[in-house]
Amino acid sequence: MSELVRLKTDLHRLTVELIGSCKYCSMISSNIDYKTPIYCTKFTGPVHPTCVDVATCLACQEYKNR
C-alpha cells in the first residue's frame, strides 16, 4: 500500500471516529477519494441528506454535542 493511500485511510478512520456519532450524520462514504464523503441532514432533513466535505462538517461542530 502506498504511503498516500495509507495516510488517506488513516484520516478517513479518524474522521469516522470523530464525527460518526453526530446526530446529523446519516452516512460517511467508505471511498477515501470522495471530495464530499459525509451525508449530512442538518439543513435538508433526513429525506434528502446533503453531501459535505470534512472541513464543512468539522466547522459545524455538531459532532461535539453527543
Region of 59 please: left (phi>0), alpha (psi -120 to 50) or beta. alpha
pLDDT at position 1 is 66
Q: Is the dihedral of CA 44, 49, 50, 55 positive or negative?
A: positive
Query: Angle at CA 59, nearest 5°, toward 53 and 65?
Result: 110
pLDDT at residue 37 greater than cutoff 80: yes
User: Band of the pLDDT at 20, cuts 50, 70, 90?
Assistant: confident
Residues 44, 50, 54, 56, Cα dihedral to 10°: -40
pLDDT at residue 26 greater than cutoff 80: yes
User: Band of the pLDDT at 56, cuts 50, 70, 90?
Assistant: very high
pTM value > 0.85: no
**What share of the chain has pLDDT > 90, as a percent?**
76
Question: What CA–CA distance (Å, rounded) separates 66 from 18?
Answer: 11
